[in-house]
Amino acid sequence: MLDDLSIRALTEADGPSYNAFFARGVQAHPNTLRIAPEDFAAVPFSTTPTNDAVTFAAVRDDGTWLGVVTVEREGGRAKRRHIAWILRMYVAAEHMGKGIGRALLRTALERAAVMPGVAKVNLTVAAHNDSAIALYTSEGFEPFAREEDAFRDPHPRAELSMSARIR
């Protein structure tokens, strides 16, 4: 399965395709993705890469999108610039369990490792998403907090915060 796909950094031009792909995931998985369609319908996510953020897509040779992930340095406070975040990690259901999520995660971690000064990567995950937690744990992430009622779908859902040191 992995021989006919590439993982590539997205550009500004990929924004509409990214947002359409991610919107399908949000619709299909409201109990694991804490983003609601209305959160980004009016203000779509940017795919313009910067020194501090890049979004990757796993794309089959025929152009089919299989999964996405964003890695972004925490901004706003000088004392937290050593932290990057894994954001909006999503693999389409029909492609789960084939190593695509692991490949995307490793690509994002490799990018975080070349961001000057970044020493660790954090992420959040729905606490009932056992397969995602197993993936993150196998790649060195450890939970450091649990938030009850972190989001609703409409049922209250708990969320784990996890972290991995990269240097």
Query: DSSP letters along 88-114, please?
Result: EEEE-GGGTTSSHHHHHHHHHHHHHHT
What distance in Å separates the CA atoms of residue 154 and residue 52, rounded to the nearest whole number? 33
Mean pLDDT score of the chain: 95
Class of residue 93 by CB neighbours under 10 A (exposed 0-12, middle 13-18, buried 19+): exposed
Residue 2 pLDDT grade (very low, low, confident, very high; cuts 50, 70, 90): confident
Class of the domain covering 2-165: alpha beta
* pLDDT tens column, 6-15: 999 999 999 9
Domain boundaries, the chain: 2-165
**Residue 1: is its pLDDT beyond 70?**
no
User: DSSP letter at 44?
Assistant: P
Query: Do residues 9 and 55 make contact, with C-beta atoms less than 8 angstroms apart?
Result: yes
* pLDDT tens column, 56-79: 999 999 999 999 999 999 998 999
Instruction: Identify which of 42, 8, 12, 36 has the alpha carbon closest to the alpha carbon of residue 22.
Output: 36
* pLDDT tens column, 155-166: 999 999 999 999
